[in-house]
Structure 1
Amino acid sequence: MIQGQIIAIGGGGFSEGSEPRLDTYILEQCPTSKPKIGFLGTASGDAESYRQKFYARFSQLNCLPAHLTFFRRTPDLADWVMQQDAIYVGGGNTLSLLAIWEAWNLPPLLKEAARNGTILAGVSAGAVCWFESALTDARAGTLMPLKCLNFISGSCCPHYSLEAERKPTFEKLVRNGDISPGIAIDDGAAAHFVDGQLKHVISGHDGSAAYKVIQSPNGAMTEPLKVNS
């Protein structure tokens, strides 16, 4: 676990043109009046269309948006990371995201930035990457456990109520001990961690929530978590 703040969004937000509350919530956690927020679209291969959605949303908010790419000429990573008040990681292929970040030695910089006060956030792949492990569809046609950065202990599953196979698969893996117990997050909801501990669950629309998924005498169970806003 690391010191600092991490906001994990199960799905939606600017990438779907929905739940602006989830995006403004990230900015509200920053200590500056006009925070710098940097976008990492690594999991989508730095897709231009995704980056445009980021700027379409955040250029309308009281912040200074920027982005970092690994698929063109890449700037000095330490300099870019340490300039940001918040870093927002987009969705896509979690396995590829982790491999590219490892090749560039980015995780230690993100850990240092979090200790210094930078908010780490993300949606889908950009949400689960911070955990010890995650349920991912990185390989087509299958849901599988994946070791992640371990900035937060336990596991994470995004899109929990939207995609029908997520809940039974995640519960089965927890029941069998193939993945650590953890948290599941709906599209339109976010979980806010401080120093590795869950502090708030934020709902961007009615019905979106997050859940604790744990082992039980009958195998595994999903328990709703209190929504704070």
Structure 2
Amino acid sequence: MRPGAGPGTVLPTRPLWKGTAVAVAPPKRLALLGGGFSTDDDGLLDDWVLARAGTSRPKVCFVPTASGDAPAYVDRFRTVCAARPDCEPSVLHLFRRELDDEALRSFLLAQDVVYVGGGNTANLLAVWRAHGVDRLLREAYDRGTLLCGISAGANCWAEGSHTDSFGPLTHLSDGLGLLSGSVCPHYDSEPGRRPSYRAAVAAGKLPAGWAVEDGAGALFTDGALTETVTRVRQAGVYRVEADGTGEVTERPLPCRLLGPPRPLPG
């Protein structure tokens, strides 16, 4: 999205030939996060996301559905945003929803960034579908809103994901499909994540995909990986693919180290 062009903005046209013009479509972007306001104190991944919003003071909507709209999670988001004047925060509550369908659509399409929190991926997807939020997020994505999230909020965008939504670690082939392939969060920090995800990809239970360690982030533009970053040197992003022999290949991707932390007001 170009600076100053918010979601839903009527974009300028460019001529093709003799009196014919077409609208320039905004890029479709989403980011997989291994951290952010709920886990990190330095704000580096949050800074990185906001810098890609395409406007100087982006509207950022936090969606805490996966946690059941946990009050402490929402409070943490509001506290962090209150300390930074470079964004306009809001929260979408679905467990005590107040907006009708028309107002909900207008609200989501007005956002520059939609940030989805962690929790239960399967529950998140079910609630979104019940309220039509899945369709609205796809529309926002097509219009240029940056979609992003951590844990379940990273899992949800892909075709499939690696999750503990049902207790033990398993595969979930039921994502929104905005990103081709699969996603595995917490690749380095939760016991069993790495071998379980590799086994699912090797067996064809999940398609090839992206594994994100805590502290790293990956940006996709029009479906292609365009940037990988990390706030700590030891964290990274991996491409995991079946090799056709029942095994997998795991390719680490070069990540730009973020920093230094931004100064906070006061």
Structure 1 and Structure 2 fold alike (TM over 0.5): yes
Q: Residues of 2 paired with 1:80 and 1:150: CA distance?
A: 23
* Structure possessing the higher relative contact order (Cα contacts under 8 Å, 6 or more residues apart): 1
Of 215, 222, 225, which residue of structure 1 is paired with 2:250?
222
Instruction: Give the secondary structure class of the aligned counterpart of 1:164.
Output: coil
Of 39, 56, 63, which residue of structure 2 is paired with 1:40?
63
Q: Residues of 2 paired with 1:180 and 1:91: CA distance?
A: 22
Equivalent residue, structure 2, for 1:13: 36
Q: Residues of 2 paired with 1:64 and 1:190: CA distance?
A: 22
Offset, 1:107: 1.6
Equivalent residue, structure 2, for 1:63: 87
Kept in 1, the 8 Å contact 2:31–2:146? The answer is yes
For 1:103, the aligned partner's letter is A
Residue identity over aligned pairs, in percent, reads: 38
Kept in 1, the 8 Å contact 2:162–2:169? The answer is no
Counterparts of 1:1-229 in structure 2 under 5 Å?
4-10=28-34, 12-61=35-84, 62-75=86-99, 76-216=103-243, 217=245, 219-229=247-257
TM-score in terms of structure 1 length: 0.94
Offset, 1:32: 1.6
Give the stretch that moved more between structures: 24-33 or 141-150: 141-150
Q: Which runs of 5+ in 2 are unaligned?
A: 1-25, 258-266
Aligned residues between the structures: 227
Offset, 1:137: 0.3
Q: Which runs of 5+ in 1 are unaligned?
A: none
Offset, 1:3: 5.5
Offset, 1:130: 0.2
Give every structure 1 segment of 4 or more consecutive aligned residues whose post-TM-superposition deviation is greater than 4 Å.
none
For 1:225, the aligned partner's letter is L
Q: Residues of 1 paired with 2:247 and 2:229: CA distance?
A: 28
Offset, 1:218: 5.8
Offset, 1:141: 3.0
Q: Residues of 2 paired with 1:208 and 1:72: CA distance?
A: 37
TM-score in terms of structure 2 length: 0.82
RMSD (Å), alpha carbons = 1.5
Offset, 1:17: 3.5
Deviations 1:50-109 (A, max 9, x none): 011111222222111110101113312101101111010000000000000001111221
Kept in 2, the 8 Å contact 1:162–1:187? The answer is yes
Q: Residues of 2 paired with 1:175 and 1:227: CA distance?
A: 25
**Cα–Cα, structure 1 residues 213 and 19, in superposed 2: closer, same or farther, change >3 Å?**
farther
For 2:198, the aligned partner's letter is E
